[in-house]
Amino acid sequence: MLNTLRNAASSWIAKLLLVLLVASFAFWGISGQIFSDMGRDVISAGRTSVSMLDYRLAYDRSISVLSQQIGTRITREQAISFGIDNQVLSELASGAVLDEAAREIGLGLSQDRLAELTASDPAFRGPDGRFDRQQFQFVLSQVGMRPEDYLKNREQVAIRQQIIEAVSDGMNAPETFLRNLAQYRGESRTIEFVPLPRSLVEPISEPSDEELARFFEENRADYAAPEYRTIAYVKLEPEDIADPQSVADEQVREYYEAREERYTQPEKRRIEQIVFPTQEEATAARESMRTGATFEDLVEMRDLSLEDAELGTFTKSELSDPALAEAAFALPEGGVSDVFEGAFGHVILRVSEITPEQATPLEEVSDEIRNELALDDASRSLLDIYDAYEDARAGGATMKEAAERLGLEMQTVERVDRNAQDEDGNVISDLPASRDLLSEAFESDTGIENAPINLGANGYLFYEIEEIVPARERELEEVRERVVADWKEGEAVAQLEERAEELAAKLRSGATLDAIAEEIGQTKQVKRGLKRLADDSDLGRDGVAAAFNVAPEGVGMFPNPAGEGRFLFKVTEVFAPAEAGADALPENVVSNTGSAYANDLVQQLVQGLQEKYDVRVNRNAVEQALSF
């Protein structure tokens, strides 16, 4: 509640206008006069009311925000399922009672302050970053709002904020509460636990015919056959019309010769280097090699290893230091350079290995080049093929006939559901543009020539619906194996739960976990130092939560996060934290707790005002507001 009202008070109208600029422009142009003619209120609180226009404005804003969050425009039915209509009513009712309270106690806003708030709204700033009257009028005109309506709404928001701030600003959680919260968060526990695997109750016996029939009838909807559709499609991409055999040998040769460097692996050299801090040290070291010292001796003199001196294997262009590149590629294999100044000091290097330049012969890449040239030709002629296909269809040709004329292949996928599964439940994985194709196909019908689906930036998918098999209920014999498996699964879970409860009762009655572990052939385990908010790798979040949901020495169970089965546990130790004050809590927890207290106060205020002013909602007006 507090966050909602604070957000509303923080330049809400600017954000609202920008969101609705596209989504609601047409609506306001058609419906604004209708709303004004109706003149009925959606909400009334004392002498304050919320019109149908204000309700629809807030409703469309919520729709737009949620649509942006999920990436698609939601429908009226989806909005109802999300509870948007009631959420908007709740927010507007809260605002209405605050407005009525402000009216009664005479709160107001000076014209200077109103002008200041309007001028600070970023939606109305010009290129220079300052308030621009033309921008102000333009933005309001896009949603059919008059300046005086905007100023009235802006004034209402600012006045509500005065009430909210008077109640909630500076609110901090009590120290006693924070100490208790620190105790709560800082407590650690030790538990002993034993795994209860499915093997304790398996194998599960076969169900009787009566049991199976009863189970099937109780869950018949789970076994219903979905709607299936048979879809024919023709894919048009460059690879579908490319003809490598039409590419002449001379074209391949010319392409290869023009891009010979592409098929040539340049010379590479393995380089070792020694870096010296001064010219004098480097020169003395190089001179020592003339009297018998080796490169390995110089490495050892620098207190290095050959691995330290290893720079790597590079082509000349891969070396970022020009001086090093020139020196390295001027040496023979095994050669040592004179001293030169590199990027990081005075350097002596050795070329320990040379891999000569290698050119891939034309014969080895001719097929690759031929295919590449054929694809280039196909890309250039693709739109011509597209037009020819459309002309053939316009002339009365069937999809198959049009495809055959152009050398394309029509494919048919038999009876597939919306999830790309066939009648046996197998996923059809080779459908082109599977998600888009199925989405569009299940909105179409037989006998319709559908608009093609775009395949990336350079391709098309033509499709038709050949058959529609309606959804239906299946009979038991059609899905017997699946029903038996599901029955056994449910029976195993139920029997394991029953067995677990028996063992838990023994533990509560004084049996030890060691004895229970021995009885069921399992090993008792111990987990120490569990913290309330931890996600333990062995127990998972559910296991940790279960360990803290019982009293000291308490017994409980939770699902095994590693797979099937359960864990039976007992809390054996509880340790209070050494620090129990607010200082032991993270700063964000203290801040959020204070915000929660403030939020509760505002909520209580709003609830009290709603009782005082007898808030009324006109459901007929709501329906009329949403009908346009």
Burial (0-12, 13-18, 19+ Cβ within 10 Å), 15: middle
Contacts of 138 (CB under 8 A, 6+ apart): none
Cβ neighbours around 566 below 10 Å, total:
23
SS3 312: strand
pLDDT of residue 14: 39
- Mark whether 160 and 193 lie in a shared domain: no
Identify the CA nearest to 465 among candidates 399, 385, 546.
399
pLDDT of residue 26: 33
Query: Greater confidence, 220 or 164?
Result: 220
Query: Mean pLDDT throughout 547-561?
Result: 93
Q: Which residues pair with 566 in a beta bridge?
A: 196, 559
SS3 417: coil
Contacts of 178 (CB under 8 A, 6+ apart): 581, 582, 585, 590, 593
To which H or E segment does residue 217 belong? helix 209-218
Q: Which two tokens stand for residue 62?
A: 């919520």
Identify the CA nearest to 266 among candidates 331, 200, 166, 357.
357
- Mark whether 271 and 237 lie in a shared domain: no
- Mark whether 94 and 207 lie in a shared domain: no
pTM: 0.52
Query: Mean pLDDT throughout 340-347?
Result: 88
Output DSSP code: residue 222: G
Mean per-residue pLDDT over the chain, rounded: 84
pLDDT band of residue 143 (cuts 50, 70, 90) is low
> How far is the C-alpha of 590 from the C-alpha of 181, rounded, in Å?
10
- Mark whether 207 and 303 lie in a shared domain: no
- Mark whether 7 and 143 lie in a shared domain: yes
Q: Which two tokens stand for residue 465?
A: 């619906």
Q: Is the pLDDT of residue 23 over 80?
A: no
- Mark whether 47 and 124 lie in a shared domain: yes
Percentage of residues in the chain having pLDDT higher than 70: 89
> How far is the C-alpha of 74 from the C-alpha of 498, rounded, in Å?
45
Chain center to CA of 342: 48
Q: 406 vs 338, 461, 560, CA distance in Å? A: 68, 15, 59
> How far is the C-alpha of 501 from the C-alpha of 505, rounded, in Å?
6
Least confidently predicted of 170-184, 201-215, 318-332, 387-401: 170-184
Q: Give the CATH number of the domain where residue 296 resides.
A: 3.10.50.40
Contacts of 18 (CB under 8 A, 6+ apart): 123, 139
Query: Mean pLDDT throughout 262-286?
Result: 92
Q: Which of 337, 356, 375 is the last residue of a domain?
A: 356
Query: Mean pLDDT throughout 66-87?
Result: 79
Output DSSP code: residue 233: E
The full 3-state SS of 606-620, as one line of letters, equals: HHHHHHHHCCEECHH
Percentage of residues in the chain having pLDDT higher than 90: 53
Query: Greater confidence, 452 or 147?
Result: 452
Residue 408 included in any domain: yes
> How far is the C-alpha of 546 from the C-alpha of 116, rounded, in Å?
55
- DSSP for 88-151 reads HHHHHHHHHHHHHHHHHHT----HHHHHHHHHT-GGGB-TTSSB-HHHHHHHHHHTT--HHHHH
Query: Greater confidence, 621 or 8?
Result: 621
Q: Give the CATH number of the domain where residue 35 resides.
A: 1.10.4030.10
pLDDT digits 0-9 by tens, 485-512: 999 999 999 999 999 999 999 999 999 9
Virtual torsion, Cα 395, 397, 403, 409, nearest 10 deg: 160
pLDDT band of residue 590 (cuts 50, 70, 90) is low
pLDDT band of residue 599 (cuts 50, 70, 90) is confident
- Mark whether 52 and 156 lie in a shared domain: yes
Residue 222 included in any domain: no
Burial (0-12, 13-18, 19+ Cβ within 10 Å), 107: middle
Domain count, the chain: 4
- Mark whether 59 and 84 lie in a shared domain: yes
Cα angle value 423/424/425 (rounded, 5°): 90
pLDDT digits 0-9 by tens, 383-409: 999 999 999 999 999 999 999 999 999
pLDDT band of residue 583 (cuts 50, 70, 90) is low
Contact (Cβ atoms closer than 8 angstroms) between residue 88 and residue 625: no
Contact (Cβ atoms closer than 8 angstroms) between residue 271 and residue 366: no
pLDDT digits 0-9 by tens, 26-39: 333 333 333 443 44
Query: Greater confidence, 627 or 574?
Result: 574
Residue 249 included in any domain: no
Burial (0-12, 13-18, 19+ Cβ within 10 Å), 360: middle
Q: Which of 356, 384, 414 is the last residue of a domain?
A: 356
Q: Which two tokens stand for residue 484?
A: 């038996």
Residue 202 included in any domain: yes
pLDDT of residue 350: 95
Contact (Cβ atoms closer than 8 angstroms) between residue 234 and residue 461: yes
pLDDT digits 0-9 by tens, 95-117: 888 888 878 877 776 777 777 77
> How far is the C-alpha of 429 from the C-alpha of 420, rounded, in Å?
8
pLDDT band of residue 168 (cuts 50, 70, 90) is low
pLDDT of residue 233: 97
Q: Which of 408, 440, 469 is the last residue of a domain?
A: 469
- Mark whether 70 and 165 lie in a shared domain: yes
Q: Which two tokens stand for residue 198?
A: 């499915």
Contact (Cβ atoms closer than 8 angstroms) between residue 572 and residue 548: no
- Mark whether 153 and 295 lie in a shared domain: no
- Mark whether 343 and 387 lie in a shared domain: no
Q: 264 vs 149, 254, 256, 325, 354, CA distance in Å? A: 72, 16, 11, 20, 16
Q: Which residues pair with 383 in a beta bridge?
A: none
Residue 200 lies in domain? 188-212+482-575
Residue 597 included in any domain: no
- DSSP for 375-398 reads HHHHHHHHHHHHHHHHHHHHTT--
